[in-house]
Amino acid sequence: MALKSTIFKADVQIADMDGHYYQTHALTLARHPSETDERMMVRLLAFILYASDALAFGKGISSDDEPALWQKDLTGAIELWLEVGLPEERDLRKASGRAKQVVLVTYGRAADIWWHQNRKQLQRLNNLTVLNLPAAQTQALAQLASRTMQLQGTIQEGVVLVTTATGAVQVEPATWMEPA
């Protein structure tokens, strides 16, 4: 018998001082049985960083043809393809051809190694942004995970402060690559 996804509910208040976006979102996240709390919370952080009314979660780990999050325009064209983790270079190349903008949020101890192996090929993609999250910060973020969450995400000067009733984590994404 296949294991089912675990459903998480998150009420997220976003105050993006940099992008002048202030909104509350009621989100439902399905965590695949093979997904960790850390990866799920990185997906949630990616939502906070790029929040809009049109941003939606993809099918997740179980789907190769959808990103972690994406934003489509009214015609169905993909405006933003947002992936988390350490995907294959060919998958990012394919996403780059399908979307106007592609953002990859890397995390974990292996991110540096992955970046050094893939940087040259990725620099050819003119619509790709690569952000890296420090491992200690994403692990602390994972500690905030619960089945029902009330979070506040404040973005100021590129730093994200995620707070809950049980704690707060400051995350400082490093930009490894931006479109020219």
Model pTM score: 0.94
pLDDT at 59 over 90: no
Phi, psi of 87 (to 5 degrees): -75, 170
Residue 33 lies in a domain: yes
Residues above pLDDT 90, as percent of the chain: 88
User: What pLDDT, on the 0 to 100 scale, is given for residue 33?
Assistant: 87
Q: Which residues contact 131 (CB under 8 A, 6 or more apart)?
A: 49, 103, 104, 105, 106, 173, 174, 175, 176
In 3D, which of 170, 175, 104 has the Cα closest to residue 137? 170
Our count of domains for the chain comes to 1
* Res 63: pLDDT: 63
Contacts of 98 (CB under 8 A, 6+ apart): 78, 81
- Asked whether residue 159 is assigned to any structural domain, the reply reads yes
In a domain, 1, yes or no: no
In a domain, 21, yes or no: yes
Q: For residue 103, is it within any domain?
A: yes
pLDDT at residue 109 tops 70: yes
Domain enclosing residue 127, as ranges:
6-177
In a domain? residue 52? yes
Q: What is the structure's pLDDT at 28?
A: 93
Residue 106 lies in a domain: yes
In a domain, 70, yes or no: yes
Residue range 3-13, pLDDT digits in tens: 788 999 999 99
Q: Give yes or no for residue 149 having a pLDDT over 90.
A: yes
Indicate if the pLDDT at residue 169 is higher than 70: yes
Confidence of residue 60 (pLDDT cuts 50, 70, 90): low
pLDDT over 80 (residue 1): no
**pLDDT for the residue numbered 3:** 76
CATH number at residue 98: 3.10.640.10
